[in-house]
Amino acid sequence: MADVDKWVYSNVVKDHFMRPKGFLLGEPKEGEFDSYGEVGSLACGDIIKVWIKVDKETDKIKDFKWQTWGCATAIASASAFAEMIMKNSGMKVEEAMNIKPKDIADYLGGLPARKFHCSILADKAFKKAVENFRSKN
Amino acid sequence: MDHAAAAPMDKRVKKAMEPYWTENFGNPNALYKEGLIARNAVETAREDIAKILGARAKEIIFTNGGTESDNLAIFGVVKNFKNGHIITTKFEHHAVLNSCKHLEKEGFEVTYLDVSKEGVVKPEDVKRALRPETILVSIMYANNEIGTVQPIREIAKAIRDFKKKGVIDEAKQNFSRFTLPRNGAGSDASQNFASPRLSAAFPLFHTDACQAPGYLDINVERLGVDLMTINGSKIYGPKGIGLLYAKNGIKLEPLLYGGEQERKLRPGTENVPAIVGLAEALKIADKDREKESARLVKLRDYFINRLLGEIPKTVLNGHPTQRLPNNVNVSILDAEGESIVLYLDEAGVACSTGSACTSESLEPSHVILAIGKPHAYAHGAMRFSLGRSTTKKDIDYVMKVLPDIIKKLRMFSPVNIKI
């Protein structure tokens, strides 16, 4: 029998989608973050914004928050990415820059193939935020 | 809340089909008793259906569903021509839209008519698009996503008027050619008489009426259509069965080649139980139409009012009244359709969305775009289609869970669309 009892996404995806972690409620406060990055568009159906705060001495990520409008993959991958880089009180920026969509998909226990390219946006938004941060400092 | 996708088969339909699985399993094309029983079942079903449609039995061709009927109508007519012009709309079902797109590759010209902001085709637009070389007009009766009901009678009249005018013009033209012969004009005129233009017969008018039988008049005479698609699964009948009504005298080419079943238009052993089921489903739809429509219109409007009233930044897609009694379609802004569907599924509510994320192609609903709404509206478009089992309690339940779901999704959404 075909396994129809399974959700369309993995349980890990479902958990991150239904109980997302590390999102920003409302607008950021003045000085709350060092930088900001955004990818996606209304036309394609996914938009993600991320905010980062970096410890300038250790180059560790002190805070990371996101907001996402989009499908379950977009929301779950943002939540998963936040969890990945904030583990052990924050990853080094360089290390976090190396996280690839495949790493996020693996962390989530796999994603449907067609969702891979369009919906894993957290890493890209993060890179933009880091670029903004680097150019400011 | 997704009856437009699939309706549960009515118990009465199941009962009517029951004898034709193992008991009366005969091939309707066999000459012995078992065959005759099956043939009798098929032809009785055909007659019953013809009566409901106001058609003749021989005008009903059984197919495997709506998509095949649409294809048979379009390719069946067009295959008799090497080139020509087809009129359809931008918000047809993909069975029609993609058939037309394919024909464009084969050299046919297709006009995809715009629809109004409220999702209704204007008969004047059809009239303006008609050309002497137009072979076929295919316009759906009720849109499957936003439920808007199209003015099929008025469109049929516009086509009839165009044909009449065409016949008169052609006669005048031929007359003048006879009376004012020029060099070689004689042979020209005789060619013209034998021309396949046949103003009287073309263009033909096809309508996909898959969403209609439960709620709208499907009498082909009154509608004035030449071809009409109906399928079983949307009307509480079996899946894998449909029909094409094709007016007597219309020359169709089959899509499939094989035996001589269905007047050589649809080869293959007839699906006897499904045909019997389709007839039973249509009979029930016909009998309950008025009562069920009146009941659902009330529920629909109650639901729409609550959605628009209780969830901020929600807009109705389609016409407020000129829509199927069971169709509710709203765009909920700043939240995305796939997420809403999955959150609702978790709460035990099944519905569908126009969001790109749920389609294989990752394209958002062509219907929502066709009514002039931006992409973000399509990504947040939610269709709730009510059915026989839907009660006010079900709607109250949706309205108990949905506002909180939207609140939650908007809580971590960076989007703030201005209406």
CA B82 – CA B108 distance, rounded (Å): 8
Position A35 pLDDT exceeds 60: yes
Mutation target vs A (from B332, B334, B415, B416; most A CBs, 10 A cutoff): B415
Residues of A in contact with B343 (CB under 8 A): 18
Is residue A76 classed as helix, strand or coil in its secondary structure? helix
Query: Which helix (H) or strand (E) covers residue A124, if one does?
Result: helix A122-136
Distance from CA of A91 to the nearest CA of B (A): 23
Hey, are the CB atoms on B417 and A42 less than 8 Å from each other? yes
Domain count across chain A: 1
ipTM score for this prediction: 0.92
Q: Which of residues 164-223 of B touch A (CB under 8 A)?
A: none
Predicted pLDDT at A43: 87
Considering the candidates A118, A124, A127, A132, report the single residue annotated as catalytic.
A118
pTM of the entire predicted model = 0.91
B355 Cβ under 8 Å from any chain A Cβ: yes
CATH number, residue A106: 3.90.1010.10
Does some domain include residue A4? Answer: no
pLDDT digits (tens, 9 = 90+) for A53-72: 999 999 999 999 999 999 99
Do A23 and A10 contact (CB within 8 A), yes or no?
no
Does some domain include residue A121? Answer: yes
Average pLDDT, chain B: 92
- For chain B, which ranges sit under pLDDT 50? 179-196
How far CA A125 is from CA of A35, A51, B138, B283, B399, in Å, comes to 11, 9, 46, 57, 35
Residue B175 burial (CB count, 10 A) = 11
Does some domain include residue A39? Answer: yes
Does some domain include residue A86? Answer: yes
pLDDT digits (tens, 9 = 90+) for B354-394: 887 766 677 899 999 999 999 999 999 999 999 999 999 99
B32 Cβ under 8 Å from any chain A Cβ: no
pLDDT digits (tens, 9 = 90+) for B186-224: 444 333 333 445 557 899 999 999 999 999 999 999 999
Does some domain include residue A6? Answer: no
Does some domain include residue A72? Answer: yes
Does some domain include residue A1? Answer: no
CA B337 to mean position of chain CA atoms? 24
What is the domain range of residue A123? Answer: 11-21+32-136
Does some domain include residue A47? Answer: yes
